[in-house]
Amino acid sequence: MPILVAIAFLTCHALALALFPDHAKLLSYLFLIAAPLLAALACAWRSRGDPVAHGWIALALGMLLWTAGMASNMVMAMVLANANPTPGLSMLCYVLYGVPLTYALATSPREAWPVRLIDALLALAVGYLFFVHTFSFATLSNASDEGVERLRLMFDIENVFIAAFAVVRWLAAGGEHRVFFRTLAIFALLYLATAAYINHTQSDVDYGTLADLVIDLPFLTLAAMALRPAAARADAPEAPRRLSLVVRAGSPLMMPLTLLVVSGLILHTHAALATAGFAVALLGYGVRSVLTQVRTLEEQDQLSELTRIDPLTGIANRRQFDETLKRDWAPAARGERGMALLLIDVDHFKQLNDRFGHPAGDACLREVAEVLKECAVRSTDLVARYGGEEFAVILPYTSQHGAERLAETIRAAIERRPLPVAVAEGTSPPASLTVSIGVGYVAELVGRRPEALMGVADGALYEAKRGGRNRVCVRVL
C-alpha cells in the first residue's frame, strides 16, 4: 500500500503538470512541499514505540526543515516575485536539514540522557555555524552566483558525508537499528543522486517541469519505507560483531568532527566563532567521553557484582566465598588470630522439594539466607550459598566459643522461623524447617591452608547429619 500511494503521488504530480501547464510552477511547488511533509509525517508515525524513536523523530525534523526550504522558495517566487530561484533562506533550510540526520547517525538510544543531550547541543552548534557559513555567501533575499556555487559544493559534501556514514551504520547495525539505518541509507543515497542531478544539470531550469518528479522520489521512498508493515521488516540480520563494535566506538566522534569541519570553514571569515566551535567540539567530546566512561565503569561494577551474588537468595555465591576465604586467610595468619567456618545444610531438603514443589523449596532457601544475614552481622563475616541447599559462613578473627554460640543461634533461629505460607498451609501437623551445622575452627593459621579448614568443617557437618540432624557439631583443626 505505501508503494501504491507513492506511485499515485508521482502520477498526480505528472498529470497536474500536463493538464494545467499555466499553473505548472505553483502546482509543482505544492507537490514538492507535500512530498517531504508526507515523509515527515510517516517518520513521526513510525517513531511511536519504536526502539529507534529518536532517529525517526530526527528524520521527521530534517524533512520539516526541507519542507520549510521549499516553502520559502515558493513564497519568494510566487508571492514576492523574486527572480532568484533559490533565496538564501531556502539555502539555509536545505543545509540545516542534514543536522538532525547527523544527530541520528551519531547518537544511540542506548546512551544515557546526558550523553544524548550533549549530542543534541553539538548538533545545535553545528546548525548555528552552518547558519553563519551559509550567510557568508547568501542573504535572506538572495545569493550571488559565486555564493550559490560554493553552497552547492557544501551540499555535495554534506550529502556524501551523510550517505557514507548511513551506509556504514546500516552494515554495522542489527535488529530494528538495522531497519532504521537501512531506511536512512537508502534515502540518503537517493537524495545524494537527486541533489547532484538537480543542482548540477537542472540549476538553470525553473520549477514546473517533469524534472521535478525526480525530487519527489527520495521523500516518497522514505515515506514508503517508514510505513512498511512490521511483518515486512521483521527479519533484520545481525551485523558482524567486530564491525558493529568498531562503528559503535567511532560514532561518538562524528558530531565533534562535523563541528570541527564547519568551524574550519568559517575560520577566515569568523575567527572568533570558529575558535568557539573548536572549543565546544573538544569540550563536548571530552565531557561525553567522561560520562560514557563513568557509565561503562558502573556497568562493569554491576556485572562484577552479579558474578558474585547468588540470584535466588541475594547473598554471596560460591565464587565469592572461595575468593573471600583465600583473601581473609593470609591477614588472619599474620595476626595469629583464629578463624571459623560454618557449613550449614538444610535437613531433608529433597523431600521438601518433592512434597511441596521447587517454588516452596526456593522460598525456604531464601528464608535460611535471611536468617544467616540477621545473625552474622559483623562487617568481616561473609554469608554465602555454597551450593544447592548448603550455605557457609566465614568468621575471621573469632574464638571457638564465639563460633559455636553463633552456630547455635542460627540453628535455633531457623527452627523458630515461620515457614513460607505455601509450605505451611499444605502441612498437617505444621512442618518445621531445620538445619545441620558443622563448625570448623582453627586457632593458629600459620603454616596451614584454607582447604584444611574446609575439611574439618565438612567433617563436622557430616557428623551433625549422622547424629540426627538439627544440631551443631564442632571440630578443631
Three-state helix/strand/coil letters over the chain: CHHHHHHHHHHHHHHHHHHCHHHHHHHHHHHHHHHHHHHHHHHHHHCCCCCCHHHHHHHHHHHHHHHHHHHHHHHHHHHCCCCCCCCHHHHHHHHHCHHHHHHHHHCCCCCCHHHHHHHHHHHHHHHHHHHHHHCCCECCCCECHHHHHHHHHHHHHHHHHHHHHHHHHHHHCCHHHHHHHHHHHHHHHHHHHHHHHHHHHCCCCCCCCCCHHHHHHHHHHHHHHHCCCHHHHCCCCCCCHHHHHHHHHHHHHHHHHHHHHHHHHCCCCCHHHHHHHHHHHHHHHHHHHHHHHHHHHHHHHHHHHHCCECCCCCCECHHHHHHHHHHHHHHHHHCCCCEEEEEEEECCHHHHHHHHCHHHHHHHHHHHHHHHHHHCCCCCCEEEEEECCEEEEEEECCCHHHHHHHHHHHHHHHHHCCCCHHHHCCCCCCCCCCEEEEEEEECCCCCCCHHHHHHHHHHHHHHHHHCCCCCEEEEEC
Other beta carbons less than 10 A from residue 112's beta carbon: 12
Catalytic status, residue 389: yes
Biggest distance spanned by C-alpha atoms of the chain? 107
**Total number of residues shown for the chain:** 477
| Catalytic residue (one of 158, 367, 389, 404) | 389
C-alpha cell at 427: 502441612
The answer to whether 299 and 306 are in contact (CB under 8 A) is no
C-alpha angle 53-55-60 in degrees, rounded to nearest 5: 95
- CA–CA separation, 15 and 35 (whole Å): 16
Mind telling me the catalytic residues?
Answer: 389
